[in-house]
Amino acid sequence: MIRLSELAPDVQASVRATRERVARLHAELPANGLVVWTAGNVSERVPGADLFAIKPSGVRYDELAADNMVVCTLDGEKIDDGTPAALTPSSDTAAHAYVYRHMEDVGGVVHTHSTYATAFASLHRPIPCVLTMMGDEFGGEVPVGPFAIIGDDSIGRGIVETLRDSRSPAVLMANHGPFTIGKDAQAAVKAAVMVEEVARTVAMAQLLGDPVPVAQGAIDSLYARYQNVYGQH
């Protein structure tokens, strides 16, 4: 087993900083109404090392802190990171690990059971691109991934297969809920917040009638502008 204390000092510092970010970002999930009780998780790749930090399994959000974020290898194995041996990583760890192994540009992964996005997942129905915000954030519809059971890397395989050729940073895993990815954990958390926002709006629109899709040319223009021009650079 890898021991954190035996790693190079710069790697140890990177692990500490990652655990602090991941612990802090977990607070965004209940704050934005994306999770209940102990459901959901955030992870982030440790810069400069084949490791990632993730939420411990079954621990309530008000009990999370940097020193109980669990550090794992990219195979999903917990390292000797100073946390109690009984503190196990999230039940979704294998899925996160698979994404990190197969999508090198992904630095953060988030899973929630947010109400509206999960409702679409239960229907195996993508969220159609009927909002300019969706063109900006997702570059089109939010796709549905295959049904998979927690416990091995099946969910991770579904995430990678669905998002590898998609501009969307979010996938609705069938009968399960949304998983989001990003360059780091903050970007993945933002995607989780945004996918729930658009899912709620589209669901309300569908109650009123038939939402009108945004034309593909407009989607491409919106996405290019938002990704390359919008904000501070």
Active site residues: 136, 230
Residues 57 and 86: their CA atoms lie apart, in Å, by 10
CA dist 215 and 140 (Å) reads 10
Question: Taking the CA atoms of the chain, what radius of gyration do you get in angstroms?
Answer: 18
- Give Dmax over CA atoms of the chain in angstroms: 61
CA 6 distance to own-chain centroid: 30
Q: What values do phi and psi take at 100, rounded to 5? A: -65, -35
Of the chain, the end-to-end C-alpha distance in Å amounts to 42
> Nearest 5°: CA angle at 191, between 158 and 201?
100
Amino acid letter, 167: R
Instruction: Give the position of tokens 């970007």.
Output: 187
Q: Report whether 28 contacts 112 (CB < 8 A).
A: no
C-alpha neighbours within 13 Å on the C-beta side of residue 206: 14
